Structure 1
């Protein structure tokens, strides 16, 4: 297989770019995630791939919950702040205010919308864990166009 062709072909898959909130007994965290898709209407299920061994992956494994914050087109600076390790400062992560609701995972007030999930299945495959989450709560802060990987010029995968 031509490695350059493989990379170009796989990078043609379109992705959104989200803030995924996590938690465990040590506190809350969030990361920039893009391997996410809806997989069922009834019950409402999504699948999320999270890099194995990361703090966030370990928190999802421990707590069995996560949140997904849908960012708005133009929020590249916000998502970029979540590509590194973070510490909580009051009710802020990376300077961005969050609240918590059903799961206790961060819900960012600057996001367009959010949903919270309870893990109903998981699979360790390759260098990621795939979590199947049932959407148990959702909300909309405002309407707008979602942020995409293509808009940012970032690449993940391939």
Structure 2
């Protein structure tokens, strides 16, 4: 029997974040960003979060080299941002330049102007199926209240109106 995990998981609503990291190339820092919805808190003490990234991705390679990243939680106005950072590295690079962002104080990874953000340092990693689960210690976090959060369910972005 073939398991339709993708079809079943379409019914599971998730938040939408942008993960950022960077690579050092010839003395220059090249930032990258990627849409993720596989973020999960792992522990409150110490503060740990996990993100699942496709094994072999260039973003994952950069993250494992620098051992730091930032997560920015998108609000309902971020659907175009989420779509841009789900594309090729070249498109992501152009999109990143157009956003309000700043290097995180603890990691140097870019923090977007968003509902919430976290700066993380690599604590552990596990190869699981076709993905790598990275677990990060949260070094700093913050947020602001404004528009409702962006969620992803049934293959589309939606506002979580009653949040």
TM-score by length of 1: 0.84
Pair 151,9 (structure 1): closer, same or farther in 2 beyond 3 Å = closer
Size of the aligned set, in residue pairs, is: 150
Shift, 1:108, TM fit: 1.0
Residue 125 of structure 1 pairs with residue 121 of structure 2: no
Query: 1: distance between equivalents of 2:46 and 2:111?
Result: 22
Cα deviation code 1:130-153 (max 9, x no counterpart) = 001110011224443211112871
Q: CA-atom RMSD, angstroms? A: 2.1
**In 1, Cα distance between the equivalents of 2:141 and 2:7?**
35
Distance 1:72 1:150 in 2: 15
User: Is the 2:16–2:36 Cα contact (8 Å) retained in structure 1?
Assistant: yes
The Cα of 1:17 is off from its aligned counterpart by: 1.1
Counterparts of 1:1-158 in structure 2, within 5 Å, are: 1-4=1-4, 6-26=5-25, 27-84=30-87, 85-86=89-90, 88=93, 93=96, 95-101=98-104, 102-109=106-113, 111-150=114-153, 153=156
Give the C-alpha shift of residue 2 in structure 1: 4.6
Q: Distance in 1 between matches of 2:115 and 2:39?
A: 17
Contact 1:112 1:141 in 2 (8 A): yes
Preserved contact between residue 11 and residue 153 of structure 2 (Cα < 8 Å): no
The alignment partner of 1:116 has SS state of strand
| Deviation by residue 1:100-135 (Cα, 9 ceiling, x = unmatched) | 0211111112x1121011110000121111001110
Change (3 A) 1:94 1:151: farther
Unaligned segments of structure 2, at least 5 residues:
158-163
Q: Quick one: distance in 2 between partners of 1:55 and 1:106?
A: 17
| Contiguous gaps of at least 5 residues in structure 1 | none
